Structure formats: C-alpha cells, structure tokens
Amino acid sequence: MKKLSYLELSIQALEALNRPATYRDVWEYIKQNQLYKQLKSYDDTIGIASIGKTPYDSIGAFLYTEAKKSDGKVYTEGSRPKYFLLSTHRDKNIKIPVEPENIPSKSRLSTFHERDLHPLLTLFLNGSQTFNALSRTIYHEQSNKKQRGADKWLYPDMVAVNFEYADYENNQLLNFIKKFDRLPLRIYSFEIKIRLDYSNYKENFFQAVSNSSWANEGYLVTLHVDEDESFMDALQKLSSSFGIGVIKLDAENVPQSQVLIPARYKENIDYATAHELAGKNPNFSKFLQTVVDYDPKYPDRFTKEFDEVWDDEKLEKHIKDKKII
C-alpha cells in the first residue's frame, strides 16, 4: 500500500466525498474509514496516536496552504466555516451549505452538557505536567442565592489545586517555609464551554474573566474551537488584556488536550472574591478547607474531597454514552 502525505490523503478523501467539506469533515471521513493508516507517519505498532495529537489540525493546515496556491488542487468557499472543494470542480457551480450566522445547525447542536466535560478536564489536569492538579466541581445550583439570576457569573465550573510543596521531602525545609514564608501551591479556576467561535467568544470570555480571575490562574476551557487564524488572534488579544488562558480538550485523546493560550500567573489570589464564593457555595468552601487540611504524607485521605480521576475504560464509556465524539 502506497504511503501518502496529509495533503494527498485529504485530496483523496475530498474526491471520495464528492462534495464541499470542512477540514473536520475530511478528518471524520478519514477516521471512519481508517484511511489514516495510509499516512507516511502512521506506525502500526503504535496505532492512531502515531500520527500526532491533532491530525485534523494538520489536515486543515495543509488544505489551507494548498488553497492559497494559484495552481492549488483545492480552493475554498464560505467563511465560517470554510469549505474545501477540488479545483477540478471549480466550474461546476457547486453550492455550499448555508448556515445562518450565530445560529448553530442541527449538526452542531450537542446532545451532551458542559458538565459532561468535567471528567475529561479532571483527567487532563491530574496527568498534565503543566498542572499536576486535583480538581473539584462547583455546583452553582447548591449556592445560597437571594434571587433567581443573582451572581450568574460569580461561580466557576471547576477549581483545582497544585500542591507544589508535596514534592518537598525535607521536613526542615517545610518547617522553614511554614514559619517564614507560605507553602507553595497554585489555585486554578475554570469556565467550561462546549464550543468557542465568533458567535459566543466575547460573552464566554468575559464570563471566565468574571468567575475565574480571582485565582492564581484562570482558564476558559472548550471542546471545540474555531481555529481560524483571525479568531485565534482575537482570543489572544483578550487573553493579553485580561490574563485568562484557553484550554482545548481533546475527547479522542484526553491527555493530549492543549493549552492554546497560557493564563497569566498572579502571585496572590483575590481574597475578597474567594471569601464571597466560600460564603455562598458549600463546594468552594469545602475545597478551601481541603487545601488547608491537605497532608502530602497521606494523600489518599483526601481523595474523596476531589473529583474522581477516571480510568481509561470508564472515561471512554462516558464519552461514548454522552456522544461527546
């Protein structure tokens, strides 16, 4: 079997589809038919993981580059989303699907909820060298609310903590830190969305600013994101101004989820906001108490105080049952 480049395989997929397709449509066709095994980078002993963390991004990049060539084998139509067509079809007056702006099509509507993504983020945070954090879901419906709609943007979806000092084995060092400094740890706060694009990014971003800026690092987390260059530039500008980072979850390979934009680290948390959260939400109050009580010598004692880190089998079943992929 002849081995193909990403571009060659993408063009082959477009020929088989015989219709306008987004780069994600192309990847879905390749994945469903296991055509990725034809890629030059595919290693049969490793499997699909051998072709990279985000193969759909590679497909999109190569198709975009090819479409910019005057003699390219593909061209584009539309803007959000962009559709790729074979150049040999340019004169056939093919109509691309019309999607009203800001109105999701039926194919885009999700049957799962944002909270169904919490186990994915929990696993990523726990295994990531960047975070190495234990997380806890904040159930806003359990908060003390004076009236309906009050504090709508106060509560984050999840919080997490990295106990950096847990790696310090020298008791004298720990005693020194406790007396003259403070124990090194990092508090994270997260706002989670299913999709991030031009129709919702400003509202979602400022919701994250509102409910997650209090932490050492605050993040807006999404499963799907418009990776158009101009859109990513817009996100980067907001992040530069307000310090909120962006994480993209990868439901196909959760440990390979990505920090698209790092959050700006703040040395001190906003104690006024943390005090308000603790006073209104029992989950957050308990989280703070667990952080205070945590003893790195006996970590298992505190396991139940954080969200459970699921094993691969349980997580895969969850993703399948909720139709996240």
How many beta carbons lie within 10 A of that of residue 68, not counting itself? Answer: 11
State which residues of the chain have pLDDT below 70.
1, 53, 79-80, 92-110, 145-150, 166-172, 174-175, 177-183
Strands 217-225 and 186-196 turn out to be parallel
Q: What is the pLDDT of residue 139?
A: 94
Q: What is the pLDDT of residue 145?
A: 67
Convert the pLDDT of each residue in 237-260 to its tens digit. Answer: 999 999 999 999 999 999 999 999
Strands 158-162 and 134-137 turn out to be antiparallel
Q: Output DSSP code: residue 77.
A: E
The length of the chain in residues reads 325
Convert the pLDDT of each residue in 283-325 to its tens digit. Answer: 999 999 999 999 888 888 898 999 999 999 999 999 999 999 8
Bridge partners (DSSP) of residue 84 are 21, 76
Alpha-carbon gap, residue 88 to 182, rounded angstroms:
66
259 near 225, Cβ under 8 Å?
no
Residue with tokens 């960047």: 130
Convert the pLDDT of each residue in 166-178 to its tens digit. Answer: 666 556 676 676 6
Three-state DSSP state, 184: coil
Name which of 255, 256, 251 is nearest 318 in CA terms. Answer: 251
